[in-house]
């Protein structure tokens, strides 16, 4: 499989969107940090975790960390599926659902909605499990 074929797969395209989303998740809580500590305080502070962020910003920071943890699992699966020739419409759909579940997870986690937070997390994990089962030849 060539690099362009790999990039054309739905799984890898949704992986790239997921990476981009992860790269942007720091923006909301950093804006809160800037509002609380000021520009100089935020950029010069040696221990940024000691700045008292608003509750929503603390949750956004934790949601961002959770996204990074899940990306570590999702990324190799999303790359291996097309590399092994096992990509289908269903695996591409699972990658897409993962993206939207993780976006929803960030929003509801930041908003402090407990039940929806767990459900969106579970949907994302379910997508990862599905991709793993495809790779194992169990689905």
Condensed to tens digits (0 to 9), the pLDDT of residues 71-107 reads 999 999 999 999 999 999 999 999 999 999 999 999 9
Pairwise CA distance, residues 59 & 8, whole Å: 35
Q: Is the pLDDT of residue 111 over 90?
A: yes
The tens digit of pLDDT for each residue in 60-80 reads: 999 999 999 999 999 999 999
Q: Where are the beta strands (DSSP E) in the chain?
A: none
Here the tokens at position 8 are 């054309």
* Confidence grade of residue 43 (pLDDT, cut at 50, 70, 90): confident
- CATH of segment(s) 3-25+55-135: 1.20.120.550
Q: If you write DSSP's letter for every residue of 8-20 in order, what string do you get?
A: HSHHHHHHHHHHH
Over 90: is that where the pLDDT of 8 sits?
Answer: no
Give exposure, 107-138, as e/b (b: 16+ Cβ within 10 Å): ebbbeeeeeebeebbebbeebbebbbebbeee
Query: Helix, strand, or coil here: 99?
Result: helix
Each domain of the chain, given as residue ranges in start order, spans 3-25+55-135
């Amino acid at each position: 499989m060539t690099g362009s074929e790999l990039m054309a797969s739905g799984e890898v395209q949704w992986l790239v969107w997921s990476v981009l989303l992860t790269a942007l998740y720091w923006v909301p809580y950093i804006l809160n940090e800037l509002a609380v500590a000021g520009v100089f305080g935020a950029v010069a502070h040696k221990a940024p975790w000691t700045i008292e962020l608003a509750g929503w910003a603390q949750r956004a920071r934790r949601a961002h960390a959770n996204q990074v943890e899940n990306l570590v699992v999702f990324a190799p699966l999303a790359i291996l599926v097309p590399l092994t020739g096992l990509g289908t419409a269903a695996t591409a759909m699972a990658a897409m659902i993962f993206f939207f579940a993780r976006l929803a997870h960030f929003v509801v986690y930041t908003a402090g909605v407990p039940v929806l937070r767990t459900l969106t997390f579970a949907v994302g994990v379910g997508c990862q499990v599905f991709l793993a089962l495809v790779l194992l030849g169990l689905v």
